[in-house]
Amino acid sequence: MAGIVGYGVHVPIYRIRIEDIARVWNEDAESIKKGLNIREKSVPSTDEDAATIAVEAARRAVKHAGIDAHSIGAVYVGSESHPYAVKPTAAVVVQAIEAGNDVMAADLEFACKAGTAGMQMAMGLVDSGMIRYGMAIGSDTSQGRPGDALEYTASAGGAAFIIGREKKDMIADILKTVSFTSDTPDFWRREGAVFPSHAGRFTGEPGYFRHIMNATKMLFEETGFKASDFDYAVFHQPNGKFPVNVAARLGFTEKQIEKGLITPVIGNTYSGSSMIGLAATLDAAKPGQRIMMTSFGSGAGSDSFAIEVTDNIASKRRNSVLVRQLIEKNKTYIDYSIYLKNRGSIKKR
C-alpha cells in the first residue's frame, strides 16, 4: 500500500500564555491550564494565513522527501480558514513549490480532519497508479470567539505529507486506513460567520469520543492489531485532555502518546493537529516501529491509520526540521492586545 515519503511542519513563532487570556475574562488560569492540559498557544503573525502556513510546510516536506516537486501529481489542502471563500489555497501551494501545471488540486473542508482525508485521497490516487506522488496538507489559523472556551486553544499551524508507493523512498508504510462518519451537530460555522459555534459538552461523547473510538476499533478489527501492537499513538488534540482520555479508553499508555502530544505547547491547530502530532512522532520513531493515528473532524468523522516505519527514516532525517525544535525556534510571547491586533480584531473605523 501507499506510504509516507516525506513531511514538513510550520508553526508561527508567536505564543500567548493561558494566563494572558484568562486575565481578560476574569477566569482562573490555573484551573483552565489543568482542565484543558494546555500552557500556551501559537498565534499567526499579521502576514501569515492558512496558505502561507501550508506553503512553508509543503516546502519542508519536498525537501525532506528529497523528490523533484514536478513529480507530485496531486495537492490537497484541508483547512477551516482558507484565505479565500472562492480561490483555492491548493493552487497557491502548487505554484509556490513549483510543481508545474499538470497537478490535480483542490481545497478540502471537514473541520479538523480535512488534512487526513487528503492523505486518504492521495493514497487512492497513488495506489491506483494515476500519480507517482500526492501531497496532503492540513493548515489552519483557527478561529475562536473571544471569551469562549475555544479561545484558549484555537491556534495556528500546519503539516504537509507526501504520499508515494515506491519502497525505496518510503519512510513509513501505511498498512491500513479506515474512516467513521456520521451527521453529528457538535461544531459548525455558517458561510460568512466569523467564528464557529459549538454545542458545549455535546462535542465530547457524541462527537470526539464516539468517532475516534469507533474508527480506531474498526482499524483494530481490520488489521488484527491491538493497542499494545503499536509503539506510538496519535489522536486529534482539541485540547490536551481529550487525547489522553481517549487513549486510555482504547488501551494505550501515556508513554505511547507523549511524543505526538503537541497541543499543550502550541494549542489546537485544527486541520494541522493530528498531522503535526504524527510528524512529531515520526521524528522520534525507529525502523520497524508501528504508529496508530486517528484524526477527528466535527460534523463529524474520524480517519484512522496503521503506519509502520521503514529503514529509510533515519537517512532522510538529515533533510528535516524536527517538530519539537521548530516549535521552540524564535518563540516570541505576545500579550492579549497584540494578539487581538494580529488577529485583525481591532476595528479602526
Cis upstream peptide for 117 (omega within 30°): no
Give catalytic status of residue 112 as yes or no.
Answer: yes
Catalytic residue among 56, 198, 236, 308: 236
Catalytic residue check, 236: yes
Distance CA 92, CA 167 (A): 30
The least CB distance from residue 14 to another protein, in Å, is: 9
Contacts of 91 (CB under 8 A, 6+ apart): 105
- Asked if 126 and 165 count as a contact pair (C-beta separation under 8 A), the reply is yes
Q: Residue 108 Cβ, how far from another protein at the closest point, in Å?
A: 20
SS3 state of residue 127: helix
Q: Is 191 a catalytic residue?
A: no
| Bridge partners (DSSP) listed for residue 72 | 133
What SS3 class is residue 258? Answer: helix
Closest to another protein by CB, 75 vs 250, is: 75
* Shortest Cβ 153–another protein spacing (Å): 24
Cell of 54: 501550508
Nearer to another protein, 56 or 308 (CB): 56
Could you list the residues that contact another protein (CB under 8 A)? 13, 45-49, 51-52, 55-56, 59, 83-84, 92, 95-96, 98, 330, 332, 341
List C-alpha distances in Å: 103 to 49, 132, 262. 23, 11, 32
Which residue out of 80, 82, 151, 308 is catalytically annotated? 80
Q: Which residue bears the cell 464557529? A: 196
- Strand blocks (E) in the chain: 3-10, 14-17, 40-43, 72-78, 104-108, 133-141, 156-164, 172-181, 187-188, 197-198, 232-235, 290-294, 301-309, 332-333
Sheet containing strand 232-235, edge to edge, reads 104-108, 72-78, 133-141, 156-164, 3-10, 172-181, 301-309, 290-294, 232-235
Residue environment code for 22-41, b if the CB has 16+ CB neighbours within 10 A, otherwise e: beeeeeebeebbeebbbbbb
Q: Which CB, 2 or 105, lies closer to another protein?
A: 105
Rounded distance between C-alpha atoms, residue 69 and residue 78, angstroms:
20
- As measured in angstroms, the least distance from the Cβ of 15 to another protein is 13
Q: What are residue 174's DSSP bridge partners?
A: 307
Spatial neighbors of 266 by CB under 8 A, at least 6 apart, are 11, 15, 40, 41, 42, 155, 157, 276, 327
Between CA 141 and CA 47 the distance in angstroms is 12
Smallest gap from Cβ 286 to another protein, in A, equals 29
Q: Which residues are catalytic?
A: 80, 112, 236
